[in-house]
Amino acid sequence: MDIEHSSLAGKNLIAIHDLFLSELDLIFDTTAKLKSVGRPLDVLKGKTLAMIFEKSSTRTRVSFEVGMYQLGGAALFLNTSDLQLGRGETIADTARVLSRYVDGIMARTFAHQTVVDLAENATVPVINGLTDLLHPCQALADLFTIMEKKGKLAGRKLAFVGDGNNVAHSLMVACAKMGMHFTLGCPEGYEPNAAVVAQAREDAEETGSEIRILNDPVAAAADADAIYADVWTSMGQEAEKAERLAKFAPYQINSDLAAHAKPDHLIMHCLPAHRGEEITDEVLDGPHSVVLDEAENRLHVQKAIMALTMI
């Protein structure tokens, strides 16, 4: 299988807002092709991806590592004990040195600025595997999953019920770029980052998408094509857990809330799930759930991103 050189060759993927619609379409088209092939290729034969992990992860590590193997390359896992990232050595120097060894860098970090600094100083493509602000690879896998199940994305509605977090941020912008309507239902005080909302609404003006931020979970879920849940307490927020459980209790995605969505709605979650908190077993394991498809599609979308940027 041939991967065409494109505007993404050598480009970083830090935020979906930075991508043109044509580039998003190319990522999705390449994802579909790679998924249909279903066997190892030599697209990135002899190339290496450095994977920097400040935050542990099952899906991110396995999907990127397996993805590089299936593309003919190799992945190198680097955690905080392997690096002096931002401590003994500057982020800029780390980026410059790694660029002499590898063909791409994926980073999963706490501070978004860390990934930005890596991208500004590396001479190889940098892929945002997650920061406290954004999770672009997850959002792209989610929209690809909706596309597989529903076809055209434009005009459909995604309802995110819960915290205005990094996953919500990237989904909001991705929906705006693709002409999907996005509604977030969250408790007062847990709204998404205002700057990200402004970016999404800027993109939405060009596509006709509607971006709504509500404090009513029922209104958010009404007539949705897909309802999305994420954990209420993310890594680094453990001290807030009791307070968050109390405030988010009315925002649980259960059969009563899902009943307000369209009859053929999808149930989505980026995993890992705190069963019985943000979502019930009945819904997570029910006939509308596509959570395992989302998890699998992380592999295929990330393969497309690596193939297009690192070629």
Catalytic center residues? 108, 135, 138, 230, 270, 298
- Among candidates 162, 192, 188, 189, which has minimal Cα distance to 176? 192
- Return the closest-CA partner of residue 146 out of 103, 180, 176: 180
Does residue 295 sit in helix, strand or coil? Answer: helix
Give the burial string for 76-114 (b: 16+ CB within 10 Å, else e): bebeeeebebbeeeebeebbeebbeebbbbbbbbeebeb
Contacts 24+ apart (CB under 8 A), 108-115: 108/51, 108/52, 108/53, 108/54, 108/55, 108/57, 108/60, 109/52, 109/54, 109/55, 110/54, 110/55, 110/235, 110/236, 114/54, 114/85, 114/86, 115/14
Q: Are 33 and 303 in contact (CB under 8 A)?
A: no
